[in-house]
Structure 1
């Protein structure tokens, strides 16, 4: 009986210990997102570009006012003197270049003319060569409607030819002395590259590179992937096709509160995984793309989605700058900002009457020695 009591007590002690251990469970310290974003010192300048937005007018819900005054660019004709001021402010921020949209002259002729006019305005205002410029080819279903996974571009010889011709038309820009080069190659962004549906994307890009080489240019091609998508989703569209990949800004159009509460950490984890995957599997560099702020309410006043607001210190944007530094390619050190002047979503880096040059100063401090 005595022996039984000893065994019974031992069993109770072991059971209590096991229960106690289970009850303790995981803690907040175990969470993968439980860490601080540290300040990354700049020992070498980063190469920073900003997407330049073309827009028709000012939404009545826009509360911010540009320091240069409200301006317009109907058909690409920007208000006199504004482009020169934009260049001067961008230089203050340490920006290396603006990235301008260009659309297909064959599929979207009016917008192509507007895009060309705006780029020409930059070239004319940049006579002293204060900064560089690059082009972003807007491949989308509006200009190449009907192209899909079941109807690849190769099935339409006319559109296939027009796709190549679009790049032929920009060759003079790519040879401009103030065009942005990466490793000696003109950088060309391809927006919505994940929708370039083809039976063999590598063959498409190989042909494009061959043609461009014949036209005297060896490009550095950068494909865009839509926001918050896993890196393996578009292997057929990117592997052995592009030199680098960037995501649509993860800090814009936030519609998930879980991501919003720890935005810098969730972006950091997404980029770390994506960068590693792209480098190992696609042999492509990664380009972090950050946004100064974002508001749903300008276009949708009743929106209940999370806002990414500005602050007196710009603290959240500063954290995102550090996340970008942590995930930039060690080879190219490229970083993008979306955008320079997208006022219709409050994404602009451009100075405003309310926050002045705060965001320009943050960019220079975060990315330049």
Structure 2
């Protein structure tokens, strides 16, 4: 039975020891599992440390990803959005996608698309430096570098049969509009660059390119540790650059997350509705599972989401489903943070805290209902 909804979970491709350039952040060569494994309890009510029920596995291993694809698809997650990086004139952390997911024998069960995580890379990933803020790699690229990136995306990924498309157009999400615009030399230059990208995609045999923006609050704050400051009108940039749709990456980007999940969800739904009204492009509802990035820092951070139990997440997913049902003229896409953002405490993978609770919440909302409607 074909699933009615496209439930897309972001994938943070850092759980592997096969990226040599990542050893400066995680010298034990297990990727960010090094940080997860050493997380400590910091305050009363802290839900860390947590343990992955699947173990500290290498997600660049196709056998491991075959298991994860089955687990995801069996619970109603049928799209992965891979965070994709380009630093210092070459790709970074492609191994989990190229060697894990794309070499898994069952990857036809899952669609995937890319979100260019074009933020600066700083020492947030290295707990030994713990928030010093030093930029390791600049996320901005100039036009020649941008064109190299586009050629790589078209030739390597867009033509794959399980690359996620809307109306035949490959979907490509951009995380940091500020870095994109500043790197390309302003809004007009960026518009020309994106128009060139669209033309290249059409010349490659597609009906077009579906550009998606990862939105922030209009007055967003940088508290996740890896994000550029907002130096422009987001709404104007999305309009001028001709983005086809929008979603979010994390609640932390647009609302106060230092509260109970039941308190923040009404504000989240209001934000969905505001964007749909103000931006005049399809908005795909987003559900974040949690926020607590204390595992990445030596000090204790107070911005922590509470009450994000599987039962509350199930309610949020139902709200996202209701939103999709109320907008039948757009793709039935819902984004979820995330498949494996362990060090931000927002992941679907089973753990020692809730077991398979989050995955079961997805299944209960999207698969069982789909079965009843079939």
Tell whether 2:8 aligns with 1:49. Answer: yes
Alignment partner, residue 203 of structure 1: 192
- Is 1:88 aligned to residue 85 of structure 2? no
**CA separation in 1, counterparts of 2:253 and 2:353?**
21
Preserved contact between residue 10 and residue 80 of structure 2 (Cα < 8 Å): yes
1:108 offset after TM fit, Å? 4.4
Residue 228 to residue 90, structure 1, CA distance change in 2 (3 Å): farther
In the aligned structure 2, how far is the partner of 1:104 from the partner of 1:348? 24
2:166 to 165, 182, 187: 182
Give the deviation of 1:361 after TM superposition. Answer: 1.6
Report how many aligned residue pairs link the two structures. Answer: 303
2:374 counterpart of 1:366: no
Aligned-residue offset at 1:88: 0.8
Partners of 2:95 and 2:202 lie apart in 1 by 23
Match runs of 1:1-369 below 5 Å: 45-55=4-14, 56-58=31-33, 59=35, 60-61=38-39, 63-72=49-58, 78-79=60-61, 81-104=63-86, 107-109=88-90, 112-116=91-95, 118-127=97-106, 129-141=108-120, 145=138, 159-171=142-154, 172-197=156-181, 198-200=186-188, 201-217=190-206, 218-227=208-217, 229=219, 233-239=233-239, 241-250=242-251, 255=256, 257=258, 262-279=263-280, 284-300=281-297, 302-311=300-309, 314-328=310-324, 329-330=327-328, 331-368=330-367, 369=370
**Displacement of 1:269 after TM fit?**
1.0
Change (3 A) 1:260 1:354: closer
| Inter-partner Cα distance in structure 2 for 1:343 and 1:194 | 26
Summarize the Cα distance change of 1:263–1:177 in structure 2 as closer, same or farther, 3 Å threshold: same
Query: Any conservation in 2 of the 1:99–1:133 contact (CA below 8 Å)?
Result: yes
Report if aligned partners of 1:222, 1:244 keep a CA contact under 8 Å in 2.
yes
Q: How much does 1:247 deviate?
A: 2.3
CA distance in 2 between partners of 1:351 and 1:207 (Å): 42
Give unmatched runs, 5+ long, in structure 2: 15-30, 40-47, 122-135, 221-231
CA-to-aligned-CA distance 1:139-166 (integer Å, 9 cap, x gap): 234598496xxxxx8xxxxx21211220
Distance in 1, Cα, partners of 2:172 & 2:152: 13
Query: Given the two structures, how large is their TM-score scaled by the length of structure 2?
Result: 0.72
Task: Provide the TM-score with structure 1 as the length reference.
Answer: 0.73
Q: Which residue matches 2:227?
A: none
| Shift in Å, 1:49 | 0.7
Tell me which of the two structures has the higher relative contact order, counting C-alpha pairs closer than 8 angstroms and 6 or more residues apart. Answer: 1
Query: How far 1:260 moved relative to its partner?
Result: 6.0
* Contact 2:116 2:175 (C-alpha < 8 Å) held by counterparts: yes
Measure how far apart 1:367 and its partner are: 2.7
Q: Secondary structure at the match of 2:102?
A: helix
- Cα gap change, 1:237 to 1:256, in 2 (>3 Å): same
